[in-house]
Every structure is written in structure tokens, then in C-alpha cells.
Amino acid sequence: MARMGPTKSAAVDRLAGNLLKLARIERGMTQRELADVAGVAQSTIARIESGSRQPSLPLLARILAAVDLEPRITLAPYDNHDDILDATETRLSAAELEERRENQDRFASALRQGAAL
């Protein structure tokens, strides 16, 4: 049986929040606007997006349905790609990890600048 490494575990923990944030941004809405159309408190949206609250699947579906979206869940074989990356990172020195993070930050900054054009 496969076990999730820290990278994949963190992604799973943020899944609902990331879905809501993506849906909200795609619709050009604020948290308050999404909350109003979904009939929930703005603080509920904020807590889900921050990861401090995990909504039930029916609640997540109801919020998404309010903006004409629906979650679609499929089952697929476990992909251990992130687990392999996690194992690789444990073998890197502190300097190598810092260099990797700096490179990732530069790449993300370049993407943001390109998206703003």
C-alpha cells in the first residue's frame, strides 16, 4: 500500500480550499460574493480557502454549484512522483535546498509577470 509523502499530504489537505479559490478567481468573485450566492458565511469561505476548515463533500458541491460548477472525482492509480521528490530533497544540503527555493521563486515571479502582460 502506498503512503503519501509530505508534499502530497499537504496538497490533499489544501484541496478543497484550492478548488474554491480557483472557482472564485475564475468567476471574478470576492469571498463575500461567493458566500452570498452560495448562502454561506464569508468566514466559511475564508476558512476553507485557508485550509483551517475542511468542508464536507456536499457543502463543497453546493458552493461550487452556486457558480455553475461541479466537482468531478475520478479514481486513478497512485502516482508517487511527489514522494520521490520529497525523498530527493532530504538528500540535498541546506545550500542546495535554498538554491532550489530561490530558483522556484524566480520562476514563479516570471510567471506572474508574464500573466500580468
Asked whether residue 74 is domain-assigned, the answer is: no
- Does residue 75 lie within any of the structural domains? no
pLDDT at 13: 78
pLDDT in the model for residue 4: 59
Tell me the whole-structure pTM to 2 decimals. Answer: 0.62
What's the pLDDT at 73? 86
Residue-range definition of the domain harbouring residue 47: 6-65
Q: Based on the domain organization, do 14 and 60 belong to the same domain?
A: yes
Pair (61, 90) in one structural domain: no
Asked whether residue 89 carries a pLDDT value surpassing 70, the answer given is no
Longest dimension (CA), the chain: 49
Which of 34-43, 68-77, 79-88 comes out lowest in average pLDDT? 79-88
Distance CA 28, CA 2 (A): 38
pLDDT in tens, 30-68: 999 999 999 999 999 999 999 999 999 999 999 999 999
